[in-house]
Amino acid sequence: MKILLADDERGIRLTLSEDLEEAGHEVVAVEDGELAMKELTKQRFDCMISDVVMPRMDGMSLLRFAREKVPDIICIMITGNATVERALEAMRLGAKDFVEKPFNNEKIVLLVNGYGESQQTGRQYKQLVEEVKTEFKVDQMVGSSPQMKQLYENIRTVAESDFSVLIQGENGTGKEVIATVLHQHSARCKGPLIKVGCHISNPNLLEDELFGHEPGAFTGASSRRIGRFEQADGGTIYLDDIDDMPIDTQAKLLRVLQEREIERLGGDKPLKVNIRVIASTKVDLRDCVKQGKFREDLYHRINVIDLNVPPLRQREGDIPVLVEHFVRRYAPDADLQIAPEAMAALVCYPWPGNVRELQHSVQRAIAFGKAGGVLKKEHFLRDYSAKLPEGAEAETPGDDRRSLKDVVAAAEKAHIQNVLRMTNGKIEEAASILGISRKNLWEKRKQYGLLDE
């Protein structure tokens, strides 16, 4: 970050500037408030560290000016004469922290680093907003099947409300994209959209991610950490794969939804948060409730509005449209043709990895077939013969009374096992062959009980 340091003590300016620069920040140091004010008018800063008592202009006046000039600037105030009243005044004026002298420079550096991570998240969010505006508007989401048209209409209907939304769909169907679209078409679109993956198996790590912590909350917690709920204040928080959330953490989430307040780990002061919650699940949460893996009261809290995303194999007519879309997207300047037998094979393939798998398949076809100008079947699909699921050899088509869902699941499990054997358990290589991410493969292995294999 670019930091403005204002302090009339030369020793603090020199040593703190040096430590901050060693941590990778750019520092401009001045000895009084008026010089600091001039710097704020000349250039933009991400963070300001200011003494409270300085000649020519005191720190509180400088804090007011800085917040008016750069509303999102991070301000840390330091003083040798700390009082509760002064600290409260600084917080009311928008200071993030109030540090008493003498202090260890490492404490300031850790504070700055922590706030820097939050600010970087904000910048990434703004960049994502611009991408979403141009690529993921509801009117531009790809697919014209009846199922997708109904989904678009549902999104338009519920986006502007502030109710919790549960997005249900298999991995790779685009649940995260829909969460982004909901946020961008809501009244909270100017606020942050914070995304959290709930597949973290350790409850303590997940709770630290969600709620943050105070210094000393646990071994190694030397500074305050702002959690995802606080970062989402005024906007939307997206809880991906909420079905993976540990049962103890579910109880704490329920309190957030009921009271709209959180407590940092190690803290004793409730903090109000103004958020909209969007969650997603890759399984039917009602089954999880019946199995005792998911709280029923939480299920009803998050399932105020439900959106069901159909798997690609059920989206009649969408595969050719999606293929053409991805070809234009990843090879906009190339005049590529798709062989008819290739398109026929793509339409017949069940796509267990859904749109994400199709997207990777098109990328692969472009890489292998671009030079020839024609994308063929072998460019899109690898011809791997998966081992039949146990017991399938004794069955005939007329005797098989399994549902389509069960047949596809059995084939998917067998194919994943086969690819893992081919790659000798190398996860990255297997994920690449399957056309899915490492996280997606981990989820599939967990779903099919293959994590111990």
Distance between CA 251 and CA 237 in Å, rounded?
A: 17
- Tell me whether residue 39 is in a domain: yes
Give the CA angle between residues 304, 125, 198 to the nearest 5°: 50
Stretch among 146-150, 233-237, 305-309 having the lowest mean pLDDT: 146-150
pLDDT the model gives residue 342: 84
- Tell me whether residue 10 is in a domain: yes
Q: Are residues 342 and 357 in the same domain?
A: yes
CATH number, position 259: 3.40.50.300
What order of strands is seen across the sheet that includes strand 47-51? 26-30, 2-6, 47-51, 74-79, 97-100
Q: Which residue has the higher pLDDT, 134 or 126?
A: 126
Within 13 Å, how many C-alpha atoms sit on residue 292's CB side?
0
Q: Are residues 151 and 229 in the same domain?
A: yes
CATH number, position 412: 1.10.10.60
**Tens digit of pLDDT for each residue in 351-391?**
888 888 899 999 999 999 888 889 988 888 765 333 333 43
CATH number, position 359: 1.10.8.60
Q: Can you tell me the mean pLDDT for 264-292?
A: 91
| Boundary of a domain, candidates 280, 308, 336 | 308
Q: Which long-range contacts (CB under 8 A, 24 or more apart) does 255-261 make?
A: 256/229, 257/164, 257/298, 257/301, 257/302, 258/301
Q: Are residues 291 and 167 in the same domain?
A: yes
CATH number, position 20: 3.40.50.2300
> Which stretch of DSSP H or E encloses residue 97?
strand 97-100
Q: Are residues 91 and 149 in the same domain?
A: no
Helical packing angle, 404-422 and 438-447, nearest 10°: 120
Is residue 386 within 8 Å of residue 418, measured between CB atoms?
yes
Which DSSP string corresponds to 287-305?
HHHHTTSS-HHHHHHH-SE
Q: Can you tell me the mean pLDDT for 190-219?
A: 86
pLDDT higher than threshold 60 for residue 105: yes
Q: With cut-offs at 50, 70 and 90, classify the pLDDT of residue 136.
A: very low
Q: Which residue has the higher pLDDT, 350 or 62?
A: 62
Percent of the chain, pLDDT > 90?
27
pLDDT higher than threshold 70 for residue 132: no
- Tell me whether residue 452 is in a domain: no
pLDDT higher than threshold 80 for residue 404: no
Q: Is 437 exposed, middle or buried (0-12, 13-18, 19+ CB in 10 A)?
A: middle
pLDDT the model gives residue 386: 32
Q: Which residue has the higher pLDDT, 255 or 91?
A: 255
Stretch among 295-304, 330-339, 416-425 having the lowest mean pLDDT: 416-425
Q: Are residues 369 and 407 in the same domain?
A: no
Distance between CA 230 and CA 288 in Å, rounded?
A: 28
Measured between alpha carbons, how far is residue 89 from residues 49, 52, 127, 186, 406 in Å?
Answer: 16, 11, 34, 34, 62
Which DSSP string corresponds to 259-326?
HSEE--BT--S-EE---EEEEEESS-HHHHHHTTSS-HHHHHHH-SEEEEPPPGGGSTTHHHHHHHHH
Q: Which residue has the higher pLDDT, 395 or 111?
A: 111
212 bridge partner residues: 226
pLDDT higher than threshold 60 for residue 453: no
Q: Are residues 105 and 71 in the same domain?
A: yes
pLDDT higher than threshold 90 for residue 172: no
Helices and strands (H, E) in the chain, number of each type:
19, 16
| Boundary of a domain, candidates 380, 403, 424 | 380
pLDDT the model gives residue 403: 59
- Tell me whether residue 375 is in a domain: yes
- Please provide residue 152's backbone torsions phi and psi, each rounded to the nearest 5 degrees: -60, -45
The residue to which tokens 């084939």 are assigned: 411
**Tens digit of pLDDT for each residue in 14-73?**
999 999 998 888 999 999 989 999 999 988 888 999 988 888 888 889 998 988 888 888
| Boundary of a domain, candidates 308, 330, 347 | 308
Q: Which residue has the higher pLDDT, 82 or 368?
A: 368
Stretch among 6-20, 178-192, 429-443 having the lowest mean pLDDT: 429-443
Q: Are residues 215 and 100 in the same domain?
A: no
pLDDT the model gives residue 135: 43
Q: Are residues 41 and 168 in the same domain?
A: no
Domain that holds residue 359: 312-380
- Tell me whether residue 131 is in a domain: no
Q: Are residues 301 and 317 in the same domain?
A: no
Q: Which of 223-232, 290-299, 405-414 has the highest mean pLDDT?
A: 290-299
Distance between CA 366 and CA 379 in Å, rounded?
A: 8
Is residue 418 within 8 Å of residue 446, measured between CB atoms?
no
The residue to which tokens 């204040």 are assigned: 233
Q: Are residues 332 and 351 in the same domain?
A: yes
**Total domains present in the chain:** 4
pLDDT the model gives residue 278: 96
- Encoded tokens for 270: 């409730």
- Tell me whether residue 58 is in a domain: yes
pLDDT higher than threshold 90 for residue 341: no
Task: Share the mean pLDDT of the chain.
Answer: 82
Q: Are residues 431 and 419 in the same domain?
A: yes
- Tell me whether residue 319 is in a domain: yes
Q: Is 242 exposed, middle or buried (0-12, 13-18, 19+ CB in 10 A)?
A: buried
Is residue 343 within 8 Å of residue 424, measured between CB atoms?
no
Q: Which residue has the higher pLDDT, 348 or 376?
A: 376
> Which stretch of DSSP H or E encloses residue 429?
helix 427-434
Q: Under 8 Å CB-to-CB from 13, ≥6 apart: which residues?
A: 5, 7, 29, 30, 31
- Tell me whether residue 431 is in a domain: yes
Q: Are residues 228 and 349 in the same domain?
A: no
Distance between CA 31 and CA 351 in Å, rounded?
A: 64
Q: Is 267 exposed, middle or buried (0-12, 13-18, 19+ CB in 10 A)?
A: middle
**Which residues in 114-245 belong to E strands, given as ranges?**
165-168, 193-197, 212-213, 225-226, 236-240
pTM over 0.75: no
